[in-house]
Protein backbone atom coordinates (compact mmCIF):
# COMPACT_ATOMS: atom_id res chain seq x y z
CA UNK A 1 0.00 0.00 0.00
CA UNK A 2 1.15 3.53 -0.71
CA UNK A 3 2.81 5.09 2.39
CA UNK A 4 1.10 8.45 1.82
CA UNK A 5 -2.33 6.83 1.63
CA UNK A 6 -1.53 4.74 4.68
CA UNK A 7 -0.51 7.83 6.68
CA UNK A 8 -3.65 9.69 5.57
CA UNK A 9 -5.68 6.85 7.03
CA UNK A 10 -3.64 6.05 10.16
CA UNK A 11 -2.91 9.57 11.46
CA UNK A 12 -6.60 10.51 11.98
CA UNK A 13 -7.26 7.09 13.54
CA UNK A 14 -4.38 7.67 15.98
CA UNK A 15 -5.61 11.20 16.75
CA UNK A 16 -9.16 10.01 17.43
CA UNK A 17 -7.83 7.27 19.70
CA UNK A 18 -5.74 9.80 21.64
CA UNK A 19 -8.70 12.21 21.90
CA UNK A 20 -10.82 9.45 23.42
CA UNK A 21 -8.14 8.24 25.84
CA UNK A 22 -7.01 11.69 27.01
CA UNK A 23 -10.58 13.02 27.05
CA UNK A 24 -11.67 10.20 29.32
CA UNK A 25 -8.83 11.03 31.73
CA UNK A 26 -9.03 14.85 31.91
CA UNK A 27 -12.50 15.56 30.49
CA UNK A 28 -13.76 16.77 27.14
CA UNK A 29 -13.60 20.49 27.93
CA UNK A 30 -10.04 20.29 29.23
CA UNK A 31 -9.02 18.26 26.18
CA UNK A 32 -10.37 20.94 23.85
CA UNK A 33 -8.64 23.68 25.85
CA UNK A 34 -5.39 21.72 25.72
CA UNK A 35 -5.64 21.41 21.93
CA UNK A 36 -6.17 25.18 21.55
CA UNK A 37 -3.41 25.95 24.04
CA UNK A 38 -0.84 23.79 22.24
CA UNK A 39 -1.82 25.38 18.92
CA UNK A 40 -1.43 28.95 20.21
CA UNK A 41 1.82 28.30 22.08
CA UNK A 42 3.21 26.29 19.17
CA UNK A 43 2.46 28.95 16.57
CA UNK A 44 3.96 31.67 18.76
CA UNK A 45 7.12 29.63 19.31
CA UNK A 46 7.26 28.73 15.59
CA UNK A 47 7.23 32.43 14.76
CA UNK A 48 10.02 33.06 17.27
CA UNK A 49 12.19 30.19 15.98
CA UNK A 50 11.49 31.16 12.37
CA UNK A 51 12.78 34.68 12.98
CA UNK A 52 15.88 33.28 14.71
CA UNK A 53 16.49 31.00 11.73
CA UNK A 54 16.20 33.90 9.29
CA UNK A 55 18.63 35.92 11.39
CA UNK A 56 21.08 33.01 11.49
CA UNK A 57 20.73 32.52 7.73
CA UNK A 58 21.60 36.15 7.06
CA UNK A 59 24.64 35.81 9.32
CA UNK A 60 25.79 32.80 7.27
CA UNK A 61 25.34 34.78 4.05
CA UNK A 62 27.33 37.70 5.48
CA UNK A 63 30.13 35.24 6.30
CA UNK A 64 29.95 34.08 2.64
CA UNK A 65 28.81 30.59 3.65
CA UNK A 66 25.89 28.55 2.41
CA UNK A 67 23.02 28.61 4.95
CA UNK A 68 22.18 24.93 4.36
CA UNK A 69 21.07 24.14 7.91
CA UNK A 70 19.03 27.33 8.09
CA UNK A 71 17.16 26.49 4.87
CA UNK A 72 16.38 22.97 6.09
CA UNK A 73 15.49 24.33 9.51
CA UNK A 74 13.14 26.94 8.05
CA UNK A 75 11.27 24.28 6.08
CA UNK A 76 11.05 22.11 9.19
CA UNK A 77 9.66 25.02 11.23
CA UNK A 78 7.03 25.73 8.56
CA UNK A 79 6.01 22.06 8.55
CA UNK A 80 5.95 22.04 12.36
CA UNK A 81 3.65 25.08 12.37
CA UNK A 82 1.23 23.23 10.09
CA UNK A 83 1.34 20.21 12.38
CA UNK A 84 0.64 22.41 15.41
CA UNK A 85 -2.37 24.03 13.74
CA UNK A 86 -3.91 20.61 13.04
CA UNK A 87 -5.89 19.40 16.06
CA UNK A 88 -4.41 16.36 17.69
CA UNK A 89 -1.87 15.23 20.23
CA UNK A 90 0.35 13.13 17.96
CA UNK A 91 0.74 15.95 15.42
CA UNK A 92 1.38 18.42 18.23
CA UNK A 93 4.09 16.15 19.64
CA UNK A 94 5.79 15.83 16.26
CA UNK A 95 5.40 19.58 15.67
CA UNK A 96 7.05 20.43 18.98
CA UNK A 97 9.90 18.02 18.20
CA UNK A 98 10.54 19.89 14.95
CA UNK A 99 10.25 23.34 16.56
CA UNK A 100 12.80 22.89 19.32
CA UNK A 101 16.34 23.62 18.09
CA UNK A 102 17.95 20.73 19.97
CA UNK A 103 15.82 18.02 18.40
CA UNK A 104 15.90 19.78 15.01
CA UNK A 105 19.70 19.75 15.14
CA UNK A 106 19.67 16.02 15.96
CA UNK A 107 17.30 15.26 13.10
CA UNK A 108 18.68 17.54 10.36
CA UNK A 109 22.29 18.18 11.45
CA UNK A 110 23.64 15.29 9.40
CA UNK A 111 21.82 16.44 6.27
CA UNK A 112 23.18 19.99 6.45
CA UNK A 113 26.73 18.70 6.95
CA UNK A 114 26.56 17.04 3.53
CA UNK A 115 25.76 20.39 1.91
CA UNK A 116 28.56 22.15 3.79
CA UNK A 117 31.10 19.53 2.66
CA UNK A 118 30.07 20.08 -0.97
CA UNK A 119 30.39 23.83 -0.48
CA UNK A 120 33.92 23.49 0.93
CA UNK A 121 34.96 21.36 -2.05
CA UNK A 122 33.65 23.98 -4.47
CA UNK A 123 35.58 26.76 -2.71
CA UNK A 124 38.92 25.06 -3.47
CA UNK A 125 38.04 24.37 -7.09
CA UNK A 126 38.96 27.62 -8.85
CA UNK A 127 41.85 29.18 -10.75
CA UNK A 128 43.04 32.67 -9.90
CA UNK A 129 44.59 34.72 -12.66
CA UNK A 130 44.92 38.10 -14.36
CA UNK A 131 43.98 39.13 -17.85
CA UNK A 132 44.68 42.02 -20.18
CA UNK A 133 42.51 43.25 -23.07
CA UNK A 134 44.43 43.41 -26.34
CA UNK A 135 43.29 45.89 -28.97
CA UNK A 136 42.76 44.79 -32.58
CA UNK A 137 45.72 46.74 -33.91
CA UNK A 138 48.09 45.93 -31.06
CA UNK A 139 51.48 44.37 -31.91
CA UNK A 140 51.31 41.96 -28.97
CA UNK A 141 48.70 39.72 -30.57
CA UNK A 142 49.18 36.03 -30.16
The tens place of each residue's pLDDT in the chain, 142 residues long, gives 788 899 889 999 999 999 999 999 999 999 999 999 999 998 999 999 999 999 999 999 999 888 888 898 999 999 999 999 999 999 999 999 999 989 988 888 777 677 666 555 555 666 777 877 776 665 655 5
Query: For 12-43, what is each residue's pLDDT tens digit?
Result: 999 999 999 999 999 999 999 999 999 999 89
Angle in degrees, 0-180, between the axes of helices 3-26 and 89-99, rounded to the nearest 10: 110
Q: What pLDDT does residue 118 have?
A: 58
In a 3-state reduction of DSSP, which class is residue 4? helix
The C-alpha atoms of residue 52 and residue 59 are separated, in whole angstroms, by 11
Angle in degrees, 0-180, between the axes of helices 68-85 and 89-99, rounded to the nearest 10: 160
Q: What pLDDT does residue 97 have?
A: 92
Q: What is the dihedral of CA 26, 28, 31, 33, to 10 degrees?
A: -120
Threshold 0.85, pTM exceeds: no
Amino acid sequence: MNPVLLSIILIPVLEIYLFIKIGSQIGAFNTILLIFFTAVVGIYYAKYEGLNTIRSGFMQIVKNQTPAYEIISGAAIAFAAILLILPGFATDFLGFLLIFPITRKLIFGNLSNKFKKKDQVNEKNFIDGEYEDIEDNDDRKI
